[in-house]
Structure 1
Amino acid sequence: MLEELDAPLAPLTTLRLGGPARRLVTATTDAEVVDVVRTADEAGEPLLVIGGGSNLVIGDGGFDGTVLRVATRGFALDGTRLELAAGEVWAEAVARTVDAGLAGVEFLAGIPGSAGATPVQNVGAYGQEVAETITEVVAYDRLLKETVTLAGPDCSFSYRHSRFKADPDRYVVLRVRFGLADAGGQSSPVKYAEVARTLGVEAGERVDLRTAHETVLRLRAGKGMVLDPADHDTWSAGSFFTNPILADRQWGAFMDRLGDLRAPAYPAGEGFTKTSAAWLIDNAGFKKGHGSGPATLSTKHTLALTNRGAATTEDLLALAREVRDGVRAVFGVELVNEPVMVGVSL
């Protein structure tokens, strides 16, 4: 376990933004993680838990408390059952499941961050979510002051949401268990239209597992969504806004504003429709690369807000507010940030 005082946090985030931590502790075992959390809680110390820092916006003032960096390691495969320590690098873990010939998370290739963050956000992309394969989450429960194991159905997964996100100060994820599938070297059924087009197949078909993985990596890289220190388009938190889910009444009001435009529409449960945040941003007049300051929209994808190298968190938030307010003015739809905000808000 490593402890540092007045430690920079910006290098620990993919946005490379944010002020220092009064105290930064890096834990490499589950026991160390639990010990740091318990000690902070007993002392009434503010605590921030981070993993890969890929879904995090930290204020320029930093964090006046203890920041726990979870750096645990562990990849255990037993047949089709996979257990990951919370600190495992997610993209590397996905690649290892593909190497093992197992399907279930291959369309989640290249997503930055740690394994422990995946159930919190119910990480998903290209028609796949971790909720489909997570069987159990082992976490330290700060309310009960004990380690608990939650079955997948008890995690209350929904679109980019979970019980862990709903109650962020209660659980610290230690391990995540998955039930994958041996499909004879084939992928899970292709669900996402862009992936199907790229692969030249129909939705619902399976393809070679490695081909699926490599195709998603290429698609993500083309949108600046695969980390590359030399490419400022990847100095982001990925998709900054979630895709809005509108109730029928809201959808009707939205349709009335569209005129001749046709917005993407996806079923989101009875009485609800999901549309595309990227489409809204683009059609509200915010094109790729929008912005003249040190924070701009990505030149590859309108849904990513990026640090061009000299931005502050306030620069990024000013851009986020401009985009959010512009979409609201044009379409009457409120965009909601996907990254976790620390010491700041929109």
Structure 2
Amino acid sequence: MRFADDFRFSDATTLHLGGRPVGAVHCATPDALATAVSRADSLDLPLLVVGGGSNLVVADGDLPLIAVAVDCSEIDIDTDTGFLRADAGAVWDDVVSASIDAGLGGIECLSGIPGSAGATPVQNVGAYGAEIADVLTRVLLLDRATGTVEWVSAGALDLGYRTSNLKRTGRGVVLAIELQLRTDGLSAPLRFGELARRLGVTAADAGAPGTVRRPASAVRDAVLELRRGKGMVHDPADHDTWSAGSFFTNPVIATADTAAVRDAVARLHGAAVADAMPCYPAGEGHSKLSAAWLIERAGFVRGFPGPEASVRLSTLHTLALTNRGGATTADLVGLAREVRAGVRDAFGVTLHPEPVWVGVDIDG
């Protein structure tokens, strides 16, 4: 472990926002991470575990907590069985790249997602029709209530759409993850229309979209191309990527309520636009809407509120809120509240933020 008093959240998050903790401890191994968290808990010291910092909205100013920086990054792969083990601090896209280089498939659709491996089960990260729950077998977990460290099966994590019991309770700290990947080098089934089209998959293909697979390396290349086109691959030199990725989750509502949303869209934009509203099954009696689509139809265009703003929607993708270089967290929260209120007022749908909030709250 290494202690530091010059840690700044603005240097440790992809939003490049946030103030300073009381201090920080850097942990180069899973054991060191478990020890640091357990010691802080035993002293009743508030702490924040920081991996890639891609899913954090941290308050400005001085924060009364310890930052525990996850620097452990080892990746082990068994090409015969397809098992991959990664320390919590491993850069997630490095994990994906290593799996492709090893001839494995299964996580290529998650290419380019910023952050660390340890965050993937907490959020149940997903993109382009795939999510970590598809391949996660177990996690090495520190139980903060008991201080025990043990492997816990994925089935015990209550993985759902961008959530888990790890996120809801904060009780466990992920030290490492284990994935079961394909050994034939083929991708997961291509379920996402945009990606499938990019790879030439059509309804005429054998098995139809949703069952067709492609070489994992080709899928990774296509995903990275799509994400770069939306400003969703972090680049420190590009302010359009200074974000927390997709800021709001796609809202899941009762299917019975979708008619009211369509009616609201029709009043603003006409029946043709309302009929084209994206709406997908999301479990019994529920449907999933597109947050980006609703944001745009509520009047928030790409780049809103304009080029002079310190925080604005990405010029490439309305679902990303971006720091243009001189912003504060307060600026970001103000824009997030404005967008959420606009969508709620227009369509009666409340958007929920995807990032973890520290020292600040979108609800004020």
Q: What TM-score comes out, normalization by structure 1 length?
A: 0.97
1:221-241 CA distances to partner (integer Å, 9 max, x unpaired)?
000000111111100000000
Do 2:57 and 2:329's aligned partners in 1 also have CA atoms closer than 8 Å?
Answer: yes
What residue is the counterpart of 2:283 in the other structure? 269
SS at match of 2:7: strand
The one-letter amino acid of 1:172's match is: V
Q: CA deviation at 1:62?
A: 4.0
What residue is the counterpart of 1:319 in the other structure? 335
Do 1:62 and 1:343's aligned partners in 2 also have CA atoms closer than 8 Å?
Answer: no
Root-mean-square deviation over aligned CA pairs: 1.0
What residue is the counterpart of 1:336 in the other structure? 352
What residue is the counterpart of 2:206 in the other structure? none
- Structure 1 residue runs without a partner (length 5+): none
**Map of 1:13-24 to 2, 5 A cutoff?**
13-24=13-24
The one-letter amino acid of 1:45's match is: L
- Whole-angstrom CA distance in 2 between matches of 1:33 and 1:277: 36
Q: CA deviation at 1:248?
A: 2.4
What residue is the counterpart of 2:91 in the other structure? 89
- Whole-angstrom CA distance in 2 between matches of 1:151 and 1:178: 11
- Whole-angstrom CA distance in 2 between matches of 1:286 and 1:263: 16
* 1:256 and 2:259 are equivalent in the alignment: no
Do 1:9 and 1:62's aligned partners in 2 also have CA atoms closer than 8 Å?
Answer: no
1:319-338 CA distances to partner (integer Å, 9 max, x unpaired)?
10110000001000000000
Q: CA deviation at 1:200?
A: 1.2
Q: CA deviation at 1:253?
A: 2.4
1:243-282 CA distances to partner (integer Å, 9 max, x unpaired)?
0000123323223322112310111001000010000001
What residue is the counterpart of 1:282 in the other structure? 296
The one-letter amino acid of 1:179's match is: Q
Do 2:130 and 2:188's aligned partners in 1 also have CA atoms closer than 8 Å?
Answer: no
SS at match of 2:343: helix
SS at match of 1:63: coil
SS at match of 1:34: helix
Q: Larger deviation: 299-308 or 33-42?
A: 33-42
The one-letter amino acid of 1:250's match is: D
SS at match of 1:64: coil
Do 1:76 and 1:83's aligned partners in 2 also have CA atoms closer than 8 Å?
Answer: yes
1:301-323 CA distances to partner (integer Å, 9 max, x unpaired)?
00000000000000011110110
1:167-226 CA distances to partner (integer Å, 9 max, x unpaired)?
11x10100100000122x322221100001111113121112211100000000000000
Do 1:107 and 1:126's aligned partners in 2 also have CA atoms closer than 8 Å?
Answer: yes
Do 2:106 and 2:186's aligned partners in 1 also have CA atoms closer than 8 Å?
Answer: no
What residue is the counterpart of 2:162 in the other structure? 160
- Whole-angstrom CA distance in 2 between matches of 1:99 and 1:136: 23
Q: 1:6 to 1:75 in 2, by over 3 A?
A: closer
What residue is the counterpart of 1:201 in the other structure? 201
**Map of 1:1-346 to 2, 5 A cutoff?**
1-5=1-5, 7-78=7-78, 79=80, 80-168=82-170, 170-183=171-184, 185-202=185-202, 203=209, 204-259=211-266, 260=271, 261=274, 262-292=276-306, 293-346=309-362
SS at match of 1:14: coil
Q: CA deviation at 1:2?
A: 1.6
The one-letter amino acid of 1:258's match is: V
The one-letter amino acid of 2:86's match is: L
- Whole-angstrom CA distance in 2 between matches of 1:56 and 1:254: 30
Do 2:17 and 2:58's aligned partners in 1 also have CA atoms closer than 8 Å?
Answer: yes
Q: CA deviation at 1:42?
A: 1.1
- Whole-angstrom CA distance in 2 between matches of 1:246 and 1:130: 23
The one-letter amino acid of 1:278's match is: A
The one-letter amino acid of 1:113's match is: G
Q: 1:299 to 1:268 in 2, by over 3 A?
A: same
- Provide the aligned length of Structure 1 versus Structure 2: 344
- Whole-angstrom CA distance in 2 between matches of 1:152 and 1:42: 27
1:69-126 CA distances to partner (integer Å, 9 max, x unpaired)?
1111211112301111000000011011011111110100011000000000000000
- Whole-angstrom CA distance in 1 between matches of 2:323 and 2:169: 29
- Whole-angstrom CA distance in 2 between matches of 1:152 and 1:246: 26
Do 1:89 and 1:114's aligned partners in 2 also have CA atoms closer than 8 Å?
Answer: yes
SS at match of 1:285: coil
The one-letter amino acid of 1:93's match is: V
Do 1:6 and 1:22's aligned partners in 2 also have CA atoms closer than 8 Å?
Answer: no
- Whole-angstrom CA distance in 2 between matches of 1:301 and 1:6: 34
Q: What TM-score comes out, normalization by structure 2 length?
A: 0.93
